[in-house]
């Protein structure tokens, strides 16, 4: 707590002033966390000061909110570029992450309680491993000694609400390969490639399609997504077009097939994107739209 307060004061986060008449201060509280090391031992006890923003009233105290967070694809992109360009990586600890944005409004906060008047690297590239997270999940649900399986789901099984047996194979699949992760390495190129797929009318309840994609930079996976669509596609062609538009646009604001079709067609004619035939064995986006077995997972 003392270190956090010293960092906040050093960065000039606030200015201690008397509360003006008619002003209502925002409360604050300390949030505590235990930082655990790779071997599950306690590495550090952390504390951070947060304002009780939920006490403010929309339209009176603020107009909108925005949280500038780093998305997973951005992190993967950074790691890929660091590998390709052989940038050195350094690990550091941020004592506090208080935003230094300029405020247009005057915000008054109560003084903090107790302080009134404080990636892993390898020779082949950069590795992101899920082992600790996977083992913690298995340990928490009591399945650390369960029998592993090769596939998380039967390809012929259709999941439906309130029907069938409970689905428990996912944890057993995690037990099979808890050390799975991502390896970012320099493969000698920086081309962007992507795979997209659509499973047309796959939901037996409402016949909505499932689309998915994965994007690679220099052969390294940086972005992926699987999503059930909100509308019913009239044909498999429409579902595939929507999947291609999704991977090209990187957002889901288009709701009409005409917009998707013309956007994709325009990019193809301008040679900004090039499509190639991919066999079923090489279609990496299949795992985003349907259950698979064996070595294809």
Confidence of residue 109 (pLDDT cuts 50, 70, 90): confident
CATH for 282: 3.30.420.10
pLDDT single digits (tens) 68-108: 667 888 888 888 888 888 898 887 766 665 555 566 677 88
* Enclosing H/E stretch for 227: strand 220-228
pLDDT single digits (tens) 171-211: 888 888 787 788 888 888 888 898 988 888 788 778 888 88
Contacts of residue 177, defined as CB under 8 A and 6 or more positions apart, other chains included, come to none
Decide: 228 and 205 in contact? Cβ < 8 Å.
no
pLDDT at 100: 54
Q: How many CA atoms lie within 13 A of 124 on its CB side?
A: 6
Share of the chain above pLDDT 70, in %: 77
Q: How far does CA 186 lie from the centroid of its chain? A: 23
204 located within any domain: yes
Q: How far does CA 272 lie from the centroid of its chain? A: 27
The closest of 189, 199, 179 to 132, measured between CA atoms, is 179
pLDDT at 279: 87
Decide: 147 and 107 in contact? Cβ < 8 Å.
no
Give the three-state DSSP class for 75: helix
pLDDT at 103: 67
108 located within any domain: no
Confidence of residue 117 (pLDDT cuts 50, 70, 90): very low
pLDDT at 296: 62
pTM attached to this predicted model: 0.58
Residue 10, domain extent = 1-18+25-53
List phi, psi (to 5°) of 184: -105, 120
67 located within any domain: no
- Length reported for the chain: 297
Contacts of residue 34, defined as CB under 8 A and 6 or more positions apart, other chains included, come to 42, 44, 45, 46
How many structural domains compose the chain? 2
pLDDT at 111: 78
pLDDT single digits (tens) 39-60: 777 777 777 777 787 777 776 6
pLDDT at 118: 36
Neighbours of 223 (CB within 10 A): 18
Helices (H) and strands (E) in the chain, counts: 6, 8
Strands 192-199 and 28-36: unpaired
Q: Which residue has the tokens 């609400």?
A: 161
- Tokens describing residue 192: 């962007």
pLDDT at 36: 77
13 located within any domain: yes
The closest of 29, 24, 31, 30 to 57, measured between CA atoms, is 24
163 located within any domain: no
pLDDT single digits (tens) 119-147: 455 545 677 777 777 888 888 888 888 88
174 located within any domain: no
pLDDT single digits (tens) 226-260: 888 877 888 877 787 777 777 766 455 545 556 66
212 located within any domain: yes
pLDDT single digits (tens) 167-176: 667 788 888 8
277 located within any domain: yes
Q: How far apart are CA 270 and CA 197, in angstroms?
A: 23
pLDDT at 133: 77
pLDDT at 67: 62
Strands 120-121 and 126-129: antiparallel
Concatenate the DSSP letters of all residues of 23-72 into one string. --PBPEEEEEEEEE-TTSSEEEEEEEEEE-GGGS-BTTTBS--------H
User: For residue 101, what is the DSSP state?
Assistant: P
């Amino acid at each position: 707590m003392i270190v956090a307060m010293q960092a906040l004061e050093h960065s000039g986060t606030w200015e201690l002033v008397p509360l003006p008449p008619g002003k209502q201060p925002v409360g604050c509280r300390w949030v505590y966390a235990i930082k655990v090391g790779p071997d599950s031992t306690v590495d550090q006890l952390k504390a951070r000061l947060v304002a009780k923003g939920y006490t403010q009233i929309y339209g009176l105290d603020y107009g909108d909110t925005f949280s500038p967070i780093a998305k997973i694809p951005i992190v993967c992109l950074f790691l890929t570029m660091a590998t390709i360009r052989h940038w050195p990586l350094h690990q550091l600890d941020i004592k506090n992450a208080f935003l230094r944005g300029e405020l247009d409004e005057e915000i008054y906060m109560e003084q903090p309680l107790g302080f009134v008047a404080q990636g892993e690297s390898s020779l082949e590239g950069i590795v992101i491993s899920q082992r600790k997270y996977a083992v913690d999940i298995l340990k928490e649900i009591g399945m650390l000694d369960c029998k592993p399986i090769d596939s998380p789901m039967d390809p012929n099984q259709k999941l439906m609400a309130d029907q069938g047996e409970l689905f428990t194979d996912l944890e057993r699949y995690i037990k099979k390969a808890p050390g799975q992760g991502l390896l970012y390495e320099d493969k000698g190129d920086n081309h962007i490639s992507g795979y997209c797929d659509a499973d047309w009318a796959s939901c037996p309840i409402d016949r909505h399609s499932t689309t998915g994609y994965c994007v690679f930079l220099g052969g390294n996976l940086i972005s992926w997504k699987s999503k059930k669509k909100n509308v019913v596609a009239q044909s498999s062609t429409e579902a595939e077009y929507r999947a291609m538009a999704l991977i090209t646009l990187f957002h889901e604001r288009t709701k009409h097939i005409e917009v998707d079709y013309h956007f994709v067609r325009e990019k193809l004619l301008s040679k900004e994107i090039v499509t190639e035939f991919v066999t079923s064995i090489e279609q990496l986006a299949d795992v985003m739209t349907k259950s698979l077995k064996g070595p294809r997972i």
